[in-house]
Amino acid sequence: MAGTNGVETQTNINSHIQMPKSALRQFEDKHHKYFYYDVEKEIIGNNGHVGSTNTSFNYYSREIEQFFNSNFEKPYSMILRSSKPVPM
């Protein structure tokens, strides 16, 4: 993306560093929150949010994010969805 001075700039991407969002979603409740362990504070929290857990802005480039998404995250998400039991 071109910046105001014509120099190429990177769009802020909030990258999930250690685990894809689709994996974290498996542990959230109906309010989209879940329990987590904070290793720095050594506490168990109960207000985790999938969209912001283990994320960092611009940790990966846009190209790497797109590669991970199409080659790992989407296929993994499809497997998780297909393996869920059907409600009776």
Q: Is residue 78 part of a domain?
A: yes
Q: Is residue 4 part of a domain?
A: no
Asked whether residue 66 carries a pLDDT value surpassing 70, the answer given is yes
CA distance 3 to 1: 6
CA distance 31 to 18: 23
Say how many domains are in the chain: 1
Q: Is residue 2 part of a domain?
A: no
Q: Is residue 64 part of a domain?
A: yes
pLDDT tens digits, residue range 29-62?
A: 888 888 888 888 999 888 778 877 778 888 888 8
Q: Is residue 5 part of a domain?
A: no
Please give the residue that has the higher pLDDT: either 87 or 74: 74
Q: Residue 52's domain spans which residues?
A: 14-83
Rounded to 5 degrees, φ, ψ at 70 are -80, -30
pTM above 0.75, yes or no: no
3-state helix/strand/coil string of the chain: CECCCCCECCCCCEEECCCCHHHHHHHCCCCCEEEEEECCCCEEEEEEECCCCCEEECCCCHHHHHHHHHHHHHHHHHHHHHHCCCCC
Q: Is residue 75 part of a domain?
A: yes
